[in-house]
Amino acid sequence: MAKILLVEDNEMNRDMLSRRLIRKGYEVAMAVDGREGVDMARSGDYDIVLMDMSLPEIDGWEATRRLKQAAETKALPIIALTAHAMAGDRDKALEAGCDDYDTKPIDLQRLLGKIEALLGQST
């Protein structure tokens, strides 16, 4: 089953989303800030990253840029999750290197669709 790295600082969101993904059969690892997220992505063996954008330490934009610049994590798909729906967020996320973008609150069916689409591409 696919391994998901969920980078999310809000405990409730992290708990809720991870449990629902696990219920759907995914294997989920979690990081609580951007730095931890980057470190885990580099050392671990993940199929996809769900990246919150407003994170402590280093934010989601920067974490994504770092992962996409490094050769070993360049191909790792990243879906940006943001509570901001302000104009420009989508462009900003894609510009930073995110492969897709979704807004919170999470519509699980929609998010699963996006995950499966990216996993389908990468395999």
Q: Which residues of this chain interact with another protein, rule CB under 8 A?
A: 10, 12-13, 16-17, 19-20, 23, 83-88, 90, 104-106, 108
Q: At what angle do helices 60-69 and 89-96 cross, to 10 degrees?
A: 30
Closest approach, Cβ 57 to another protein, in A, equals: 19
Question: Of the two residues 68 and 104, which places its CB atom closer to another protein in the complex?
Answer: 104
Full strand arrangement of the beta sheet holding 100-103? 27-31, 3-7, 48-52, 78-82, 100-103
Residue 115 token pair:
């995950």
Question: Of the two residues 23 and 45, which places its CB atom closer to another protein in the complex?
Answer: 23
Residue 110 token pair:
């929609």
Question: Of the two residues 18 and 64, which places its CB atom closer to another protein in the complex?
Answer: 18
